[in-house]
Amino acid sequence: MKPKNAMTVDVEDYFQVSAFETYIDKKQWDSLPNRVENNTNRILDLFNQNNAKATFFTLGWVAERFPALVKRIVEEGHELASHGYEHIRVTEQTPSKFREDIAKTKKLLEDISGQEIKGYRAASYSIVSKNLWALDVLQEEGYKYSSSIYPVKHDLYGIPDAPRFMYQPIENNDFKEIPITTLRLFKKNLPCGGGGFFRLYPYFFSKWAFKNINNNEKQSGIFYFHPWEIDPGQPRQKQLSLKTRFRHYLNLSKMEKRILNLLQDFDWDTMDAVFLEK
């Protein structure tokens, strides 16, 4: 039987991305036009129409302001998971601040949804070689898995020599790290699990990569994207560097159609169903 893949959504608004940190102060967030609620509802409609289930890694900041959205996610059979409270990279937190953040967000999401929060994804995949202590803290705070390590070489994140598929990073413990999907090609790990790379590559490459992982490696893959990526009409930030502008706005108008193609070309389920219920 062909492996199922895990579909994931990082629920954050366009102004909350790490690339905008130096341009948009967190104090401005509440005064900016909100797009995350409408975009996430569009994604939920798309999943319903294609019988797909997903894991929604949700910011506590978003859940607090849009509890009805959180309730819809769980009522429609999706998994709710934590993305931290306000998208602070783990590399910018001390162990005590990190513990406070993940405990606060877990309780908040569980109180709103009534669903146990098992999973966590770090802002911008910011669990890297120098802060692997974060995995111990997650386990101690009751999380069952993390999906926070990207086994690629990148200027902002990544552990290139990390395992490519699910593993147990803590000795004698069931806690799992479930890395974002990569394709091994030319002795390198190529990112193929979503985000800006998915918008950059032609769709046929992403389809081929996932088929290779499912059929040849016999592994389940993970795909991720953000609600703002299906929103070409979002307010444009004018002061960005050329690199940031390219990465954020590239092919937003094509993204929704590509997601639809993925939903039709592969079978999708939640992280806990694909990786924990085995």
Rounded Cα–Cα distance for residues 101 and 122 (Å): 11
178 band by pLDDT with thresholds 50, 70 and 90: very high
The structure tokens listed for 185 are 């090609």
Rounded Cα–Cα distance for residues 241 and 219 (Å): 38
Give residue 268's Cα distance to chain centre. Answer: 15
The CATH number for 28's domain is 3.20.20.370
**Residue 234 has what pLDDT?**
97
Find the mean pLDDT for residues 237-254: 94
**Residue 69 has what pLDDT?**
98
Q: How many domains does the chain have?
A: 1
Q: Is the pLDDT of residue 157 over 90?
A: no
Task: Encode pLDDT of 249-263 as tens digits.
Answer: 999 999 999 999 999
Closest to 54 in 3D by CA, of 38, 40, 67: 40
Find the mean pLDDT for residues 63-76: 98
CA atoms within 13 A on the CB side of 69: 24
Average pLDDT, the chain: 95
Find the mean pLDDT for residues 110-117: 98
The structure tokens listed for 43 are 């994604």
Can you give the residue range of the structural domain that contains 258? 5-276
Residue 160, CA distances (Å) to 123, 151, 182 in order: 18, 4, 10
Q: Is the pLDDT of residue 39 over 70?
A: yes
Residue 141, CA distances (Å) to 138, 211, 276 in order: 5, 36, 18
**Residue 277 has what pLDDT?**
81
Q: Is the pLDDT of residue 1 over 80?
A: no
Find the mean pLDDT for residues 148-153: 88
Q: Within the chain, where are the H helices?
A: 36-49, 60-65, 67-75, 95-113, 133-140, 195-200, 203-211, 242-249, 252-265, 271
- Grouping H, G, I as helix, E, B as strand and the rest as coil, residue 70 is helix
Q: What angle do CA 11, 83, 204 make, to 5 degrees?
A: 55
Q: Is the pLDDT of residue 41 over 90?
A: yes
Query: Which residues does 61 contact at the CB level (< 8 Å), separation at least 6?
Result: 16, 29, 85, 86, 87
